Amino acid sequence: MKHLRYLLLGAYFGIVLTKSEVTTWHKIRAMFYFREPDLYLIIGLGVVVGSICVWFVRRSKPTTPFGEPVVVQPKPMHKGVFFGSFLFGIGWFIAGTCPGPIYAQLGGGEFFAVFTLIGAIIGAYAFALLKPKLPD
Amino acid sequence: MGFLLDPWPWWISGPLIGLTVGLLLLIGARNLGVSSSFRHLCAMALPKSRLPYLAQDNLKEQAWNLFFVGGIALGAFVAVHFLSRNPVEFLPAHYHTLTGALKLLGGGFLIGFGTRWARGCTSGHAIMGLSSFQKPSLYAVLSFFGGGLLAAAVAKFLIGGGP
């Protein structure tokens, strides 16, 4: 099954997120209050390694084991990049988690993360409602 | 190998997080991103919605994303139960209250609304977007750190330490 690989890749990501502790409220607070540099360093090194991966993909244009072409998609410039991200940042601070770690918290047995996930789904619904009226 | 059971230091976990970009591209032909899952879950919960944003969500094409976030939960389960010496404290005790639940709902709302408006989160914009040198992602990252740092400053000013 072609989708199984995404479950396994997600599991890899989930293990690394959890073991790096970016899934904990305390680490997020420590980042926003500049009490420790860990999260900035994790994101920074993640981007360094990620950009080597992207450089390799752009240079060698590989295909997956299933024969699909590997493409790095462009991120379009739009106003939501500024406004939406700003709101997300506030939520990140309040809930002490960003999207990936919500799922990690749930899998790790932190059942109060259900509230964060439900909030996020309601947030997506509110966006669907308001999308025609928001600057894009 | 006992060190594996402790939290992994930034110089190990950072590169391993970055490697996810390459693994997902080379094995899955997909660009790393998590927050679109909120759109898919919302569209699945409301299959009859006429809102274009939900009705036009191509769940068949995007199913990989739900497998991926399911995998994140699975991986966290493995990390907590088989790769940790001590219990992992995701949320502090004072969030296990009604006030805490309301904060998580409210914070979650901003996370869902904001990341969908921005079309990306820490994974899609910070890790994937910056790794592929995309200017919109740089603005997104500056903006979400701006929002978070401002919230932190306001919380410190109002209640000395944050909610």
Interface pTM (ipTM) of the complex? 0.97
Residue A108 has its nearest CB partner, among B32, B80, B150, at B80
Query: pLDDT digits over A7-52, tens only?
Result: 999 999 999 999 999 999 999 999 999 999 999 999 999 999 999 9
Residue B63 has its nearest CB partner, among A3, A56, A88, at A3
Q: What angle do CA B10, A100, A108 make, to 5 degrees?
A: 85
A62 confidence band (pLDDT: 50, 70, 90):
very high
Q: How far is CA B97 from CA A67, A136, B103, B109, in A?
A: 50, 37, 10, 18
| pLDDT confidence of residue A1 | 67
pLDDT over threshold 90, residue B161? no
pLDDT (mean) for B85-99: 96
The answer to whether A89 contacts B30, with C-beta atoms less than 8 Å apart, is: no
Nearest CA to B91 among B105, B77, B81, B104? Answer: B104
Nearest CA to B152 among B142, B139, B138, B163? Answer: B163
For A59, other C-beta atoms within 10 Å of its C-beta total 8
Question: Total domain count for chain B?
Answer: 1
The answer to whether A120 contacts B95, with C-beta atoms less than 8 Å apart, is: no
Query: pLDDT digits over A71-88, tens only?
Result: 999 999 999 999 999 999
Rounded to whole angstroms, how far apart are CA atoms A27 and A33? 10
pLDDT over threshold 90, residue B144? yes
**Structural domain of residue B52, as residue ranges?**
2-159
Average pLDDT in chain B: 95
pLDDT over threshold 80, residue A123? yes
| pLDDT confidence of residue B159 | 78
Phi, psi of B113 (to 5 degrees): -65, -50
What are the chain B neighbours of A87 within 8 Å (beta carbons)?
Answer: 110, 113-114, 117, 147
| pLDDT confidence of residue A136 | 82
Average pLDDT in chain A: 96
pLDDT over threshold 80, residue B163? no
Phi, psi of B20 (to 5 degrees): -55, -35
Residue of chain A with shortest Cα separation from B110:
A91
Shortest distance between the Cα of B63 and any Cα of chain A, in A, equals 8
pLDDT over threshold 80, residue B160? no
A2 confidence band (pLDDT: 50, 70, 90):
confident
Least confident range of A60-64, A120-124, B74-78, B116-120: A60-64
Which of B 60-119 lie inside 8 A of A, CB atoms?
Answer: 63-65, 67-80, 83-84, 88-92, 95-96, 100-119
The answer to whether B134 contacts A108, with C-beta atoms less than 8 Å apart, is: no
pLDDT over threshold 60, residue B162? no
Contacts by B140-144, CB closer than 8 A, 24 or more apart = B140/A81, B140/A82, B140/A84, B140/A85, B141/A85, B143/A81, B143/A82, B143/A83, B143/A85, B143/A86, B143/A89, B143/B118, B144/A85, B144/A86, B144/A88, B144/A89, B144/A92, B144/B114, B144/B118
Query: pLDDT digits over B22-38, tens only?
Result: 999 999 999 999 999 99
